[in-house]
Amino acid sequence: MPHLVLEYSDNIEVDVQPLLARLHEEVVATGAINLKGIKSRAIKHTQYRIADGDPDYAFVHVGLLIREGRPLEVQKDATQRVMNVLKETFGHYFETRKLSLTVDLKEMRDGIALTEHNIPAR
């Protein structure tokens, strides 16, 4: 049931599908997340304000939502892997504008978060 939400400001270029595929690969590489359960999406923000409102400021944020129970080290590994992808993908923007990259991971409580699907494992 992991959810991965990529949010970004409209003043940077993003090739969304390859980036989401890469992020899927990285969270699966933790060994604690199954590919078949990942649902990701990207949201390009056109209305936002960063700090003092300078239009050259940009952001990229990834929110991960996973079921509770994975060890803290696995959670840290997942967020670091995602941050590494963000730095590789968007790091060049640090040379031309002010940029904020963030990753956040939250846990869904078992018994409260429900899921049902028939997506096959691959």
Chunked into runs of 10 residues, the chain (122 residues) has average pLDDT values of 94 97 96 91 98 96 94 96 98 94 92 68 66
- pLDDT given at position 118: 72
- pLDDT given at position 104: 98
- pLDDT given at position 58: 98
Q: Using only C-alpha atoms, what is the Rg of the chain?
A: 15
Q: CATH for 3-108, among 3.30.429.10, 3.40.470.10, 3.50.50.60, 3.20.10.10?
A: 3.30.429.10
Per-domain residue ranges for the chain?
3-108
Q: Please list the helix, strand and coil fractions of the chain in percent, rounded to the nearest 5, in that order.
A: 35, 30, 40
